[in-house]
């Protein structure tokens, strides 16, 4: 051990590390990539998002404005919170299953094995299908039940409290301002994720929540 939060790699001879300036450059570039991609996607997907929103609220008819049909108001209310919840859950669920399915396919077929982390013994190196099915069940429960409840009753009100506009509001015309907003969100997300995750590892609550 070389410190309370560091470890010494079990490699002999020890690898030659890059200069601090190169590490800092790579770090900054990595932190600027996500906001850049997010900004580009915002402008690229604005029109498709509005068309999808119109389609959703009009039940397939782009020419039916909401609030003009009583039946539509009952089935699909003009509810910004509902739209926020549905879109957020759809994005999360889609990314979860697509990305993890790709990795599962790679693991099943034995691709890229040289890049896998070492496991403790041959038992842990193989796919445990019972454990995987348990994971799928828990994931579906979280995504289809707990996720929508959290987005609808907790995340949306908090986001609105901090000034989030409605989903049909015009996109920020100042590209640089939108980019800076994503930079701030990225920094806060990484900071909050790290400390919340570390908190869950506290011995008083780890086995009851995170484990």
Indicate the domain borders of the chain: 34-185
List, for residues 131-161, the tens digit of each pLDDT value.
899 999 999 999 999 999 999 999 999 999 9
User: What's phi and psi for 3, nearest 5 deg?
Assistant: 170, 170
Indicate the range of 16-30, 89-103, 118-132 predicted with least confidence.
118-132
At 178, the pLDDT band (50, 70, 90 cuts) reads very high
Position 47 pLDDT exceeds 50: yes
Q: What is the pLDDT of residue 1?
A: 40
Q: In a 3-state reduction of DSSP, which class is residue 6?
A: strand
Helices and strands (H and E) in the chain: how many: 8, 0
Which of 8-12, 19-23, 116-120, 153-157 shows the highest mean pLDDT? Answer: 153-157
């Amino acid at each position: 051990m070389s410190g309370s939060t560091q470890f010494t790699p079990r490699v002999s001879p020890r690898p030659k590390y890059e200069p601090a300036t190169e590490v800092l450059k790579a770090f900054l570039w990595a932190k600027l990539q996500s906001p850049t991609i997010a900004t580009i996607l915002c402008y690229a997907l604005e029109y498709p998002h509005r068309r999808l929103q119109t389609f959703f609220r009009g039940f397939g008819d782009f020419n039916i404005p909401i609030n003009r049909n009583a039946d539509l108001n009952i089935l699909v209310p003009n509810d910004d919170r509902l739209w926020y919840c549905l879109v957020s859950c759809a994005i999360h669920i889609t990314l979860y299953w697509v990305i993890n399915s790709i990795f599962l396919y790679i693991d099943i077929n034995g691709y890229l094995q040289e890049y896998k982390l070492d496991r403790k013994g041959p038992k842990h190196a193989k796919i445990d299908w019972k454990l995987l099915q348990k994971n799928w069940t828990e994931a579906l429960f979280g995504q289809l039940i707990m996720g929508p409840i959290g987005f609808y009753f907790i995340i949306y009100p908090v986001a609105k409290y901090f000034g989030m506009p409605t989903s049909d509001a015009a996109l920020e015309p100042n590209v640089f301002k939108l980019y800076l907003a994503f930079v701030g969100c990225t920094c806060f997300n990484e900071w909050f994720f790290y400390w919340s995750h570390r908190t869950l590892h506290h011995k008083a609550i780890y086995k009851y929540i995170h484990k």
